[in-house]
Structure 1
Amino acid sequence: MHSFEELSGLFATRFKQSHFPEQPATLYEPNNYFLQLGGKRVRPVLCVMGSELFGDINPEAWEVATAIELFHNFTLIHDDIMDKAPLRRGMQTVHTKYNESTAILAGDVMLVTAYDYINRIGTEHLPAVLGLFNRTAREVCEGQQMDMDFENRSEVTLEAYLHMIELKTSVLIAAALKMGAILSGAGERNLELIYSFGLKLGLAFQVQDDYLDAFGDPSKFGKQVGGDILANKKTFLLIHALEACNEQQRLELDRWLAGNEPGKVEGVLKLFRECGVDAWALELKNKFLDEAWKHLDDIAVQSQRKEPLTKLAQFLVQRDY
């Protein structure tokens, strides 16, 4: 069995190759720029880990992993446009460095290239993998639209937010694992369990991401800390603060949410702490993680085969960047 670090290194070596033609450079250079920013490459490596969990790594898992990473980066380029985000991984976003129209096209062609890699796998597993890939891509778009819709709603329930996060974040993590498992011939019950593990891990991952956006160290996090607050994004933190605050705190929170006056991030964070949002978020993260462990435990393979996934999951929800 390989560790996440080992598989990540192997994937990085494969992924370094050029995925795009040279011309027109004005279209493809922005994508090359964005991919060289790096990232954790968690989702593609999860695909390979999902394959190795049930046997030797199917070589086709590397092709699917590349497709997953290209798809993920396509969503990031477009998300940055929608969020008007100036930074990604501490560097200029594509639409900021180039322009918005170029960023849209660059993201589009990155998605098309992802399908080229899916098309490289054999006919035995292609229908199942392509069907799951397409369903997941549609769900991610649904989740992003819901995320934007929430910005214009004064009230969002925790249940609705969880559904949005499941679509926007969790399904791609779950699908990456399941696609790898499909390629190694896992049975139906094990496929269900590895997918459920990924869903819960994705929810825990997003709680941590929301937490870091508010309380993280900007020098480590690589993004604008407090960006969600400035954008009035409905996050785990804001939803709980709205539920837990008293009348006076609600008035103050509503005042901050009504505009973007100086000191907004600091003012909202102060209210978050007063409402115990930071401690609550950590408890919620651990709840989702416990549920993820249950699904992983139930998968019918030897326990030592699960160790790399266990270690990776622990890292993802304890990271500070």
Structure 2
Amino acid sequence: MHSFNELVKDFAARFDVAHFPTSPATLYEPGNYFLRLGGKRIRPVMCLMGNELFDEILPDAYELATAIELFHNFTLVHDDIMDAAPLRRGMETVHKKYGDSVALLCGDVMMIRAYDYLNKIHTQYLQRIMYLFNKTAREVCEGQQLDMDFEKRNDVQLEEYLHMISLKTSVLLAASLQMGSILGGASEGNCKHIYQFGLNLGIAFQIQDDYLDAFGDPEKFGKDVGGDIRQNKKTFLLLHALEVADAAQKVEIEKLMTENPADKVSKMLAIFKACNVDIWANALKEKYLQTALQHLEDIAVTSTRKAPLKELAAFLIQREH
């Protein structure tokens, strides 16, 4: 069995090849530029880990992992356009560096290239993999649309936010694990458990991300805290605060979101703490983490094979940056 970090290094070395032709350079160089920015490679590595949970890592798993990573990068290129984001991993985004039209095509061709890699998978598994890959791709798009819809609404409920996060973030983590497991010959029951492990872990990860943005140590978190508050993002924390705040606190929250004073972050955090949002968020994160770990426990393989996935859960959820 390999550790998460070992597989990250292994996959990164294999992924660091030319995925596009050389011409026209005006289309393909932006794609190469974006892929060179790196990233954590969590999703493709989860695919490899899902495979190794049931079998030795098969050559097909690397083709599938590459497809997953290209798809993920496609979503990032297009998300950056929608968010008008100037930077990604500290470097200029594709649309900022090359223009919106090039960035759109760059994302498109990444997605198309992903299908080239999927097409290399043994035909025995291809139909099941393709169904799950396409379902997941569609759900990620739905999640992004809901996220944009929520920006214009002031009545978003916590359950709606959970659904959006599941689609936007968690389903790709879950599907990456399950697709790897399918290649490993996992039973239907085991496939369902590994999917639920990834889905619940993804939600716990997002709750923690929201929490760290508000309450994290800037030195450990790696960025200024309060970014979500400044942008009026409807995070787990804000939605719960609006749910439990008294009338005066609700008025103050609305005022802070509308007027954007210089001390907005500190005042909003004071309301969050008065409403025990920090305690609630940690309890909710723990609930989803324990649900994830129970599904991992219920998978019918020896516990030693599950150890790397337990380590991955600890790495994702107990991180401080």
- TM-score, normalization by structure 1: 0.94
Deviation at 1:181, TM superposition (A): 0.5
In structure 1, stretches of 5+ residues that fail to align are none
Deviation at 1:217, TM superposition (A): 4.8
Q: Given the superposition, is the C-alpha separation of residues 175 and 219 from structure 1 closer, same or farther in structure 2, using an over 3 Å criterion?
A: same
Separation in structure 2 between the aligned mates of residue 225 and residue 27 of structure 1, nearest angstrom: 37
User: Is this contact kept in 2: 1:136–1:172, CA < 8 A?
Assistant: yes
Separation in structure 2 between the aligned mates of residue 225 and residue 76 of structure 1, nearest angstrom: 22
Alignment of 1:297-316 (within 5 A): 297-316=297-316
Separation in structure 2 between the aligned mates of residue 99 and residue 226 of structure 1, nearest angstrom: 30
Report % sequence identity.
64
2:170 paired residue number: 170
Residue type at the aligned position of 1:154 = N
Q: Given the superposition, is the C-alpha separation of residues 84 and 222 from structure 1 closer, same or farther in structure 2, using an over 3 Å criterion?
A: farther
Q: Does 1:152 align with 2:152?
A: yes
Q: Given the superposition, is the C-alpha separation of residues 277 and 110 from structure 1 closer, same or farther in structure 2, using an over 3 Å criterion?
A: same
1:191 paired residue number: 191
1:27 paired residue number: 27
Residue type at the aligned position of 1:181 = S
2:208 paired residue number: 208
Q: CA offsets, 1:208-247, max 9 Å, x none?
A: 1222333345565566643433332211111111112222
Q: Does 1:228 align with 2:264?
A: no
In structure 2, stretches of 5+ residues that fail to align are none
1:94 paired residue number: 94
Q: Given the superposition, is the C-alpha separation of residues 82 and 270 from structure 1 closer, same or farther in structure 2, using an over 3 Å criterion?
A: farther
2:68 paired residue number: 68
Q: Given the superposition, is the C-alpha separation of residues 260 and 20 from structure 1 closer, same or farther in structure 2, using an over 3 Å criterion?
A: farther
SS in 2 for 1:134: helix
Deviation at 1:27, TM superposition (A): 2.2
- Which one is further off, 183-192 or 259-268? 259-268
2:130 paired residue number: 130
SS in 2 for 1:124: helix
Q: CA offsets, 1:106-134, max 9 Å, x none?
A: 11111111111111111110000011000
Aligned length: 321
SS in 2 for 1:38: coil
Q: Given the superposition, is the C-alpha separation of residues 180 and 2 from structure 1 closer, same or farther in structure 2, using an over 3 Å criterion?
A: same
Q: Given the superposition, is the C-alpha separation of residues 118 and 247 from structure 1 closer, same or farther in structure 2, using an over 3 Å criterion?
A: same
Q: CA offsets, 1:137-168, max 9 Å, x none?
A: 00000111111111111111111111111111
Structure 1 stretches (4+) deviating beyond 6 angstroms?
none
Deviation at 1:183, TM superposition (A): 0.4
Pairwise CA RMSD:
1.8
